Homo-oligomer: A and B are copies of this chain.
Amino acid sequence: MSGKLYLIPITLGESSIESVIPTEVIESTIKTRHFIVENIRTTRRYLRLLDKGFPIDDTQFYELNKRTTPEQISGYLKPLEEGFNVGVVSEAGVPGVADPGAAVVELAHQNNIQVIPFVGPSSILMSVMASGLNGQNFAFNGYLPIKSGERVKHLKHLEKRSIQERQSQLFIETPYRNGAMIDDILNHCLNSTKLCIACDITLENEFIKTDTVQNWKKNKPNINKRPAIFIIQG
């Protein structure tokens, strides 16, 4: 019997664990002894928060990032063949979405390993829920181009698509560039386009607000260095 690949969520920051992680997910997490992780320190710290006595020293951690090779990932799946469950843990939120986790999952499917996703916080999903924008048709576009000219072009393309296809368009930015992103949206999108800014989701300072570009211009938020999701819908 081969083990199962657990997709294990983690908090989005300093939130209470019981507010975002179901009890049985906590239980399955602390029974696991093999973890493929984006950040070993973050994962160790989280495991100790779940269970003060978590046996870190009896646990294997395998690092997953952009530089991890397919051969290394293949090696990470060995414990599954030996019957152990292996957890995939992201830097924050759920693995496999906006992180490198999908590479592990892809290989698991190729090897007929059962993949089990657990429930946890996702800033992407929660921002769609709380935006009031179209949740029946939406796209997550990851990061937009960094250079302002290209970014504006891409923003206009997404705005156009949101109008033509009634598909709301999500994207993210490195937190210290949030200000520049908001400027680009307010300067180049239509006044009638709706913009949802969702930041610090599930945290104490959670801020989620949808308004028109026109209204945002009168009341520009400062969310510098706060993790944020942007959604536009023309």
State which of A135-143, A145-153, A175-183 sits at the interface with chain B: A135-143
Within the complex, the shortest CB–CB distance from A221 to chain B, in Å, comes to: 14
The A contact surface, by secondary structure, is: mixed
Q: Could you say how many copies of this chain the assembly holds?
A: 2
Asked if A7 contacts B129 (CB within 8 A), the reply is yes
Bound CA span A130–B96, Å: 7
A16 to chain B, nearest CB (A): 7
Say which residue of B94, B109, B137, B142 sits within 8 Å of A141 (CB atoms).
Answer: B137
The answer to whether A96 touches B129, judged by C-beta atoms less than 8 angstroms apart, is: yes
Residue of B nearest to A19 (CB): B24
A residues adjacent to B (C-beta < 8 A)? 7, 16, 18-25, 94-99, 101-109, 115-117, 119-122, 124-142, 167, 201-202, 206, 208-211
